[in-house]
A and B are shown apart, each in its own frame.
Chain A
Amino acid sequence: MDASQLLKGVLDVAVLAVVRDADGYGYDVVRRLRNAGLEDVGDASVYGTLRRLYQAGALTSYVVPSDEGPHRKYYAINDRGRSVLEDSTKTWRTFVDTVDGVLGRTVAA
């Protein structure tokens, strides 16, 4: 299975997890996800996800002016985001355990 297909379903969790550790701007989040091993993550997918999570109230944003480059819009997780992340993490773990179980039985069979 193409990893990018799996990624679409969990990008919300991954993005929330990345900004939970430290606030980040769009491209920064892309790089952090790739450095973490999600190399197939698309730039547009991350920006779209950040935008959607922001509009859903899970993230806040602020602009950091820069003298050298463009002004950057940083995203920070808020309480609602943490709550979403917590719920999503539980769902993800349950899902993974279930799939692991299915795969284990399949392999055992």
Chain B
Amino acid sequence: MTAPAAPDLARQVQNYLVAVECELSDLPAEERGDLLEDLETHLASLAEEDDDRPIDVRLGSPVAYAAELRSAAGLPPREGARPSRDRSAELRRWVGRAQAHPLGHEVHRLLLELRPAWWVLRGYLLIAVPTALSGDWDFPVPAPLGSEALGVLLVPAAVAGSVWLGRRELPSRWRVPVVVGGAFLGFLGFVAAVDGSPSDSADYGYAAEYGYPDVVPEQAIGQYPLVSRYGPVTDVLPYAADGTPLTDVLLYDQDGRPLAVGFQEWWADGCSRELRQPLAADGVPVAHAFPQRYVLDGSGTDEFGQPVPLGSCDATVQRPEVSLPEFPPSGSVSGSVSGSTSGSVSEASPSGD
């Protein structure tokens, strides 16, 4: 055997040992250990010979080897031996070939190294997935039965149990159910994570905080109270039917509420402003009386949540000029952007208070 082929041989030996061990899995641990010890020594002796034939060719398939070993040692045939054994042997051979490939070997090694991480994730998903299926997808701590405290207790317990299960040598009849169950759990967890994230208001709030809402909310929310089907509306630019940009136009909704289009940068001072309707002589607000105005109410907070002193608020600050877009050539007036030109009053005009 030449030196460069040694790692490949080591892989073959390892795969062969694992396959034979699988065939002997029903035997008592001591008996199996003795037989495998002999096989390991035997394979090491074979490796010393100048023979580069694959081990499968020299010794026969692991299934046949194990069967012959049992027969000669006077041990009973494998428990639960089924006609499908040949098919599973074929599958093992395919897996063995894939693992013998350099890339397959690397992937196999990586998967082995990642197993403890999977055990932890499996334990987490064991609690998170049923919680998500019942409609409460909470990340990172799931809240089974609506209780986050219960999640804090159950998740570590499930993770510990999953790791314990992963480190344990399972009887062969339990391996397939555990693997299939784990894969199903992983799939459900993936679906829940993909499905649950976009509707998570916390995520949207995070995006909105930085002014880049990358998802279209289904309803008005937070700093973007006016929503169109394309997403949050941050500005409304009224035009006359002939395409002339209208200035000093104020827009209100059907109930006299100003169309608040979103975060007003010229109010970034953190000061809170309250809409104030005009009052009649008897002090009663006059409905549909415009313009309305905003007054500072002193309840504003800065970015750190600290109250903003009223004195530091500039009540005279005005909306900055914005450049108006070019209106399309005359003749296509039906495409006017104007949301309303009713001549009412807009929130976009804070009155100098």
Chain A: residues with CB nearer than 8 A to chain B?
11, 25-27, 42-52, 55, 69-73
Contact = CB atoms under 8 A, between A and B. Distances in A.
Q: Is the interface of B mostly helix, strand, loop or mixed?
A: helix
Given A44-B68, A44-B72, A51 B35 contact: yes
B255 interface: no
A48 B72 CA distance: 4
A45 B73 CA distance: 8
Contacts of A52: 72-74
The bracket for how many chain B residues form the interface is: 20 to 34
B45 A27 contact: yes
20 contacts: A25-B41, A27-B45, A27-B46, A42-B60, A42-B68, A44-B59, A44-B72, A46-B72, A48-B70, A48-B75, A49-B72, A50-B38, A51-B35, A52-B74, A55-B74, A69-B44, A69-B48, A70-B40, A70-B44, A70-B45
Contacts of B75: 48
Contacts of B37: 73
A43 B38 contact: no
Given A48-B71, A52-B73, 16 more contacts: A26-B38, A44-B60, A44-B68, A45-B69, A46-B72, A47-B35, A47-B39, A48-B69, A48-B73, A48-B74, A50-B38, A52-B72, A52-B74, A70-B41, A70-B45, A71-B41
5 smallest A-B Cβ distances: which pairs?
A48-B72, A48-B73, A44-B68, A27-B45, A44-B69
B16 to A, nearest CB: 12
B168 interface: no
Given A42-B68, A44-B69, A46-B72, A51 B38 contact: yes
A55 B42 CA distance: 19
Contacts of B59: 43-44
Contact of B73 (A51, A69, A71, A72): A51
B34 interface: yes
A73 B41 contact: yes
B267 interface: no
A50 B74 CA distance: 11
A43 B34 contact: no
B118 interface: no
Contact of A72 (B41, B60, B70): B41
A48 B67 CA distance: 10
Contact of A43 (B44, B48, B65): B65
A5 B37 CA distance: 27
Contacts of A43: 42, 59, 65
A72 B48 CA distance: 14
Nearest to A70: B44
A77 to B, nearest CB: 18
B74 to A, nearest CB: 5
A51 B36 CA distance: 12
Highest count of chain B CB atoms <10 Å: which of A11, A48, A50: A48
Contact of A26 (B42, B66, B70, B73): B42
A64 to B, nearest CB: 11
A10 to B, nearest CB: 12
A46 B35 CA distance: 12
Nearest to B71: A48
Contacts of A72: 41
A25 B48 CA distance: 15
A7 to B, nearest CB: 11
Interface string B43-81: 011101000000000011000111011111111000000
A26 B41 contact: yes
A99 B37 CA distance: 40
Residue in B38, B59, B65 whose Cβ sees the most chain A Cβ within 10 Å = B38
